[in-house]
Structure 1
Amino acid sequence: MILDIDFVSDFICPWCFLGRTRLVRALEQVRATHADLEVRVNWLPFFLNPDTPAAGEPYRPYLEAKFGGRRGVDEMLGRIAAAAAPDGLQFAFDRIATRPNTLPAHRLTYRAQSQGHTAAQINALGEALFAAHFQQGRDIGDIATLVDIAAETAGDDREDVQAYLESDEDAATVRRMAGQLQKQGVNGVPFFIFNRRLAVSGAQTPAVLGAAVLQSLQNA
């Protein structure tokens, strides 16, 4: 039994990290009754702020300008941390110095998928990008950082990845994919599409995501 999941996200979106975490939990629950389930996740790009400078920008100043100063940001991040705690997900917002431009990270994920990396490698890469930003405070807009992550999670050749990221290869394709998704109505993330027929928006609970998975399997 095959389950295709289109997972639309941005690697600097905390709710996307939580949504991915909840999706994994939901799939574990579904597999308890569907042991033969084969899951294929297609990681798709979204840009929360497509105008982010190529070198990124300071994290806290950006948030404070957008969300009403220090108090507003502290309250917002506190709500996110509280929402994630029951799922065992911890954020280290205080470690984040840079809000990166995520085009290189999305290109890296696109490259892994287009080159036929295994599902396990692709999922490990995507999860590592989230963790690098939100838990380790690493700059996922930095080429050297991305090379390390690709080598560690997907076994990629460092020189090949560096040459790829230093070029503009697939940049237009990734931007076009993100634009097409927005034209199709994806205006917020995370966004899940199960078996090309059932869509769920937001970091829903594992129970909600699991129910959507089961419904999509019944309709397949």
Structure 2
Amino acid sequence: MKKLVALCAMAVAGIAGAGLVSHDYAQAAPEPSVVPISWQLDFKHQAPERLQVTIDGKQHTYWFIRYTVTNNTGKDVLYTPEFELLTDTGAAQVAFKDVDRKIFPKIKELYKNALLESPTGILGKLLQGEDNAKDGVIIFTNLDPEARTFKIFVSGLSGETAEVKNPITDKPVVLQKTLVLEYNVPGQAIGIDPQPQLKNTTWVMK
């Protein structure tokens, strides 16, 4: 799993697994091609939702986003997504890390969706066409209560890549075209039940 680098992500560019890099380097990262140069999957997502559950006598809070991914590229594609979250407070986490295994079944039961696939079950070949679309879910542990905005990075939706040189190690690093979903979290800082609102959707090379 690629490491989420806070500095690069806040600059809307990143280097997977590169560690902290300079702001100038982050700004110099290439941008995705305006004209598609590789396959790209269709990704439709719902709003983030909060789930509070009691496990072994302790209350836990999770956030999840339901989504549908469809392959209209004209060829079968290997679907191996990665999801990362970064708040404006610098708190970063990788989807499904430290998420209790009981959470996915609870979400599936909540929506009575027999087609909702588990985080591991959804991986693999994605066949072409609407009839072969897959329903999945992204799950994170609780947000930093001080966060007022956060970004979710979704990689694995495009075959577009770019190679750059890591200024620290002087070794080449491959960036992937990555979808960025940016949300505001009004109310959280004053104790109101947070209702994240989608602020912006962009593509970056990360």
Structures share a fold, TM > 0.5? no
Q: TM-score normalised to the size of structure 2? A: 0.23
Which structure is higher in helix share?
A: 1
Which structure is higher in strand share?
A: 2
Higher relative contact order (CA 8 A, sep 6+): 1
